[in-house]
Chains A and B, each alone.
Chain A
């Protein structure tokens, strides 16, 4: 158990709909990352938040948005869903955003399976 909690674990929704995925980071972690993994694809970095502020942005579509709340949990909002958005969405957390030579390890949750039909 990594200590990162994601809900829901599974979600089936129709095209055009909007969903929200939730992530609770490990206790003490200030940084949250969102990744997308489609079938047989690698992990695509979407976005990173650090202590409530956006820190880095990857290949995140304009239909997607995220935020990190004062209690450090994060939500990923996916709107106007398309069939191609079906994927496994991972949240990860770490203590910091980047720190010296000791590095910064990120720990992943179990993922949220999204199926768009």
Chain B
């Protein structure tokens, strides 16, 4: 039973356009969410986080939106750059950072 889902295994976007990566979760006890980016043969690197008391968090080109009632969050990357091509993982946790559960990832390809 997957508690964190990323239903799009892959996504292709043109350089300069917006990339929207989606994530859904089933456990209503999750209260803290993170996005990670992973290049091949490297460890995941932290991008941005959001706690359940907020519905939006922005950091440069990256914005995460949280819709608690729908148990859905999304990562927006604007503008997308070729260097953003990677696998993006959504992660969720309870108690603001315990026992992180990761989604299966979405492979983003930004085309020049």
A binds B: yes
Interface residues on A, range: 20 to 34
Interface residues on B, range: 20 to 34
| Partner-B contacts on A (CB < 8 A) | 2, 4, 33, 35, 41-45, 48, 55-56, 58, 90, 92, 94, 96-111
Shortest CB distance A55–B (Å): 7
A106 touches B100 (CB 8 A): yes
A108 touches B99 (CB 8 A): no
- Tell me whether chain A's interface is mostly helix, strand or loop, or mixed: loop
New A-B pairs, 11, CB < 8 Å, besides A45-B99, A104-B97? A33-B100, A42-B89, A43-B89, A43-B91, A48-B99, A55-B99, A58-B99, A97-B98, A103-B96, A106-B100, A107-B46
Among B46, B93, B94, B96, point to the contact of A102 (Cβ < 8 A): B96
- Given A45-B99, A48-B99, A103-B49, the answer on whether A110 and B93 have CB atoms closer than 8 Å is no
Interface assignment of B83: CB less than 8 Å from any CB of chain A: no
- Of all chain B residues, the one with the shortest Cβ separation from A35 is B102
